Amino acid sequence: MESIKSYIAQHKGRFVNELIELLKIPSISADSAYEKDVITTSEAIKNALEQAGCDNVEICETPRYPIVYGEKIISKKLPTILVYGHYDVQPPDPLDLWDSPPFEPIIKSTEKHPDGAIYARGACDDKGQLYMHVKALEYMTSEGNLPCNVKFMIEGEEEVGSESLAWFVPRNKKKLANDVILISDTGMIANDIPSITTGLRGLSYVEVEVTGPNRDLHSGLYGGAVANPINVLTKMIASLHDENNHITIPGFYDEVEELSTEERGEMGKAPFSLEAYKKALDIDEVYGEKGYTTNERNSIRPTLDVNGIWGGYTGEGAKTVIASKAFAKISMRLVPNQDWEEITKLFQKHFEGIAPKSVRVKVTPHHGGQGYVTPIDSIGYQAASKAYEQTFGKVPIPQRSGGSIPIVSLFEKELKSKTILMGFGLDSDAIHSPNEHFGIWNYLKGIETIPWFYKYFTEMNS
């Protein structure tokens, strides 16, 4: 694998240009207006896999967006790595907060990325990170350095809940059989502090609707005498946290795994500057559940957040009105052992229960998924750790992330294999936000590190 460095040095211009081409296609899975582009992107992934040396590349039809599959099988006696990624991206709005158009990638240098970063929606989440795997494979096949079997499965609905993948996986267990699943769709602490993600949070996402009077009313004629759905909704939402920022839904914490003092002590050793954290977000103080640190609040603790809220008049000027309806979208991040469907039920029961008689409440569950934790003594983790040590010159720190990739727990259930999360993005890369970017150094470092994982995983399995 030593030749990976010179291979990258020789081809890096092309590696960057190919990614830029992929980033130009607006594969927004949430918005059906972009259906054609999502499909075009799946075709681009198919071509890229073929060009990188994959065999049997196919576009697998599903109830919605296609899954791209490809493989390189060299011997039944060797272990098999299944690489997963997603070619869909989040909607780019609000557009006016982007410094350059989200689907016209440009390269700019920043403090965190002095060697330049590619700015575009999907640069880090997940086109840039999945493409590292394609280029790592290209290196291994073209230099005769592929030490084991590999399968690729790239989906187009991750950002909207992976429904078609959940349909596909149980129907294709044989085809997907593997010894370990490898994903780059998370982050690391800093370019000089490599880390491997060992946990993901689960998710329950709901939409609520509060209905008051049967029509919008004059706020002078009726104000004070009829419940205002917006007032009621905001009050109900505010009551979901107590003064210590604990969530008040009965039973919500019942299954939450409490970490031992030792484990929390280990977590606390990861380098973290609260001052830098506040400065990066332009806030004077952090906020959260009493009794936990910032890093605990965003990884090992469950949360409840309003993601959007609307109703009434929001146009120019003033309109004196009491709206008939108010709405909100609410997400709950869950930790291992909390069952997302159970939590959704608890939310629904509680939210309907706290509604005053003067309004009607409807709770509509959206998608969700289970959390995930992976042990650090598995062969997969150890191989990943050695790979980072090789290319970063440092042993990576295990770290639980606050984000969610719900399909990972389904992989474990259906395919009975562990997932290794080798992410190379930074929290400051602004995934899901305006000006998303991915460091070119990170992109190339990922391409360099992945083949070492293949090598060590194969060696440790024999």
Within 164-193, the residues that bind Mn ion by CB under 5 A are: 185
Given ligand BES, Mn ion, none, residue 435, with its beta carbon under 5 to 8 Å by kind, binds none
Alpha-carbon gap, residue 238 to 212, rounded angstroms: 19
Q: Could you say whether residue 123 binds ligand BES (CB under 6 A)? A: no
Work out whether 436 is an interface residue with ligand BES (CB under 6 A): no
Query: What is the per-residue burial (b if ≥16 Cβ within 10 Å, else e) of 32-45?
Result: eebeebbbebbebb
Restricting to residues 359-398, name those near ligand BES by CB under 6 A: 367
- Is residue 446 involved in binding ligand BES (CB under 6 A)? no
Contacted by 178, from ligand BES, Mn ion, none: CB < 5 to 8 Å by type: none
Residue pointed to by tokens 């104000």? 223
- 365 by Cβ neighbours in 10 Å (0-12 / 13-18 / 19+) ranks as middle
Our finding on whether 429 is near ligand BES (CB under 6 A) is no
| Spatial CA neighbour of 28 closest among 439, 443, 440, 432 | 432
Interaction of residue 203 with ligand BES, rule CB under 6 A: yes
Binding mask 182-201 for ligand BES (x = CB under 6 A): ---xxx------------x-
Q: How far is the CB of 256 from ligand BES (least distance, A)?
A: 19
Between residue 400 and residue 419, which ones bind ligand BES under the rule CB under 6 A? 401, 403-406
Task: Say if CB 198 and CB 99 are below 8 A apart.
Answer: no
Helices 4-23 and 440-461: crossing angle in degrees, nearest 10, is: 120
Instruction: Provide the mask over 239-278, with x wherever binding to Mn ion is found by CB under 5 A and - wherever it is not.
Output: ----------------------------------------
Name which position in 18, 158, 436, 448 contacts ligand BES (CB under 6 A).
158
User: Which pair of structure tokens corresponds to residue 368?
Assistant: 């969700």
- Total residues interacting with ligand BES, rule: CB under 6 A: 16
Taking contact as CB under 6 A, which single stretch among the options 154-162, 318-326, 342-350, 385-393 is the one that binds ligand BES? 154-162
Alpha carbon distance 130, 125 (integer Å): 9
Q: How far is the CB of 155 from ligand BES (least distance, A)?
A: 11
Type and span of the H or E element at 237: helix 229-238
Residue 161 binds: one of ligand BES, Mn ion, none (C-beta under 5 to 8 A by kind)? ligand BES
Q: What is the DSSP letter of 256?
A: P
In 3-state terms, what secondary structure has residue 194? coil
- Binding-residue total with Mn ion (CB under 5 A): 3
According to CB under 6 A, which one of 66, 70, 122, 161 is a site residue for ligand BES?
Answer: 161
Give the CA distances from residue 397 to residues 92, 115, 129, 389, in Å, rounded to whole numbers and listed in that order: 32, 24, 20, 11
Per-position x/- string for 109-138, each x denoting binding to Mn ion as judged by CB under 5 A, each - no binding: ----------------xx------------
By beta-carbon proximity to ligand BES, the closer residue of 83 and 405 is 405
Residue 186 interacting entry, from ligand BES, Mn ion, none, C-beta within 5 to 8 Å by type: ligand BES
3-class secondary structure for 206-229? EEEEEECCCCCEECCCCECCECCH
Contact partner, 179, from Mn ion, ligand BES, none, Cβ < 5-8 Å per class = none
Q: In the bound complex, what is the minimum distance in angstroms from residue 41's beta carbon to ligand BES?
A: 15
Rounded CA separation 27/90 (Å): 8
Q: Which is nearer to ligand BES, 380 or 403 (CB)?
A: 403
3-state SS string for 30-85:
CCHHHHHHHHHHHHHHHHHHHHCCCEEEEEECCCCCCEEEEEECCCCCCCEEEEEE
Out of ligand BES, Mn ion, none, what residue 187 binds, judged by CB under 5 to 8 A for its kind, is: ligand BES
Q: 84 φ, ψ to 5°?
A: -120, 145
Q: Which residues are CB-contacts of 49 (< 8 A; sequence separation ≥ 6)?
A: 57, 68, 70, 134, 137, 152, 154
Look at residue 429 and give the partner it binds from ligand BES, Mn ion, none, a contact being a CB closer than 5 to 8 Å depending on partner kind: none
Residues of this chain that interact with ligand BES (CB under 6 A) are: 125-126, 158-159, 161, 185-187, 200, 203, 367, 401, 403-406
Residues of this chain that interact with Mn ion (CB under 5 A) are: 125-126, 185
